[in-house]
Structure 1
């Protein structure tokens, strides 16, 4: 990697993370700051994750095929033709109800991997594009508690310290009655299969409940109890 800069091995930049935290407090909807925190505090977490991904059978296949999850997730007509109750239909309903687009995450993370080697770019793009799918698979919504629970769940898969920082800075703002849901999410994440190298394209047509069972994703009972 002589001529390119790796986006995987990032220096630890606490001051940049602090600035991003302050900006996020000013505007909680500024998703760019979340990516900045992840990158500033990621250290070797992404490098370790990429190494594991590259050494897995699925990861090797995705890299060799130069898979683009984004192309699949932006084809809403194809998603709408999937069976009722499938992962893909649930994803489409989620994106429409929340007025989201897969392209929105691309804009929020713009510049993150532009100088990285091609395989690293593909890996980081796949991680980015899978974010809203993980909402569907884990059962956590986009409300503040749901986002924190998803961060806690996924931290067991990514090991990014930036996720823990966001949880920590939000902890005192979360009602005490809701905090057990975050701890439950962390435990559920530890019990699930590694989500980073999953064949999401193949999962889209399958029943959501079946996929959750196969991946060992337990119901977010405490989170759901807070939604009623």
Structure 2
């Protein structure tokens, strides 16, 4: 099939390649593999060259890329043993409340064994993705995904994440047929271009105002108080609304339950009362998706 104008700008092969990328982005909510593959296919693209040049301005990021430093694996029990309110404790508690595997991210072999700088950049982005959720406050589901990825788009123009933002706007715009203020549920509103634009804008602004996050030594920061770390990194985290993990009742039950249990244990030790036993909480089952929690 020919086009009146596109044929002047790109070859049929390039147009077909774009449609394949668009298909992967559209399937990002079904499987994280689609998102990983999307970024892998863009590793030799012009947008990736832009990404590399922006990261090269940061000496710490450049050293990290050259060293090919790996992330994890993380010990959930050890992280949960860290002080309540710390980055590591919150990271393990939040993912545990959702039933997510804390070490679910691609092996280096998926990204060409990190042969090129672009391969390592892709690896690093997805290996630290959920830590970005914890740090920024954006929820780990359909509501917060566009916000958290837009932080990285603002800071270093990651091509896979930027493409996901663009496709979310485009595909949601195509199917919008009702004003957002007439939609009754958050789930319905999350599938509109207006909602996508709002979260993308919020993430871009957060990323522009924050200190560089790509090269953060996460393993060395796990014991740090999360609120203090956010302040140090100039991150005004999302703490309310359906696109914040702080608003998730399952997460709140876990975090508040820990505090209640500790208070109850202290009272019991003093001999005043016995704490009420905590109810068991069944975590949601999860598929193989990680970044693929949202759908466009």
Provide the TM-score with structure 2 as the length reference.
0.60
Task: Report the structure number with the largest CA radius of gyration.
Answer: 2
1:70 aligns with 2:72: yes
Structure holding more helix per residue: 1
Task: Measure the CA separation in 2 of the matches of 1:190 and 1:156.
Answer: 6
In 1, the alpha carbon distance for the partners of 2:163 and 2:220 equals 33
Q: CA deviation at 1:82?
A: 0.7
Number of residues of Structure 1 aligned to a counterpart in Structure 2: 207
In structure 1, the partner of 2:95 is: 95
Alignment gaps of 5+ in structure 2: 1-13, 173-190, 248-296
Change in CA separation of 1:81 and 1:127 when aligned onto 2, cut-off 3 Å: same
Q: What's the CA shift for 1:126?
A: 3.4
Runs of 4+ in structure 1 off by over 6 angstroms are none
Q: Report the Cα distance in structure 2 between the residues aligned to 1:200 and 1:63, rounded to whole angstroms.
A: 17
Contact 1:105 1:129 in 2 (8 A): yes
| Partners of 1:102 and 1:129 within 8 A in 2 | no
Q: Using CA pairs below 8 Å that are at least 6 residues apart, which structure has the higher relative contact order?
A: 2
SS of 1:112's equivalent in the other structure is: helix
Per-residue deviation, residues 76-105 of structure 1 (Å, max 9, x unmatched): 221121100000011101221222224321
Matched, 1:159 2:157: yes
Write out aligned runs for 1:1-228 (5 A): 15-16=16-17, 18-26=19-27, 28-42=29-43, 43=45, 44-48=49-53, 51-52=56-57, 56-57=59-60, 60=63, 67-71=69-73, 74-106=74-106, 111-114=110-113, 116=115, 124-171=122-169, 172=172, 173-174=191-192, 176=194, 179-220=197-238, 224-226=240-242
- Equivalents in 1 of 2:142, 2:38: separation in Å? 17
| Post-superposition offset of 1:52 | 4.2
Gap regions ≥5 residues in structure 1 = 1-12
RMSD of aligned alpha carbons: 3.0
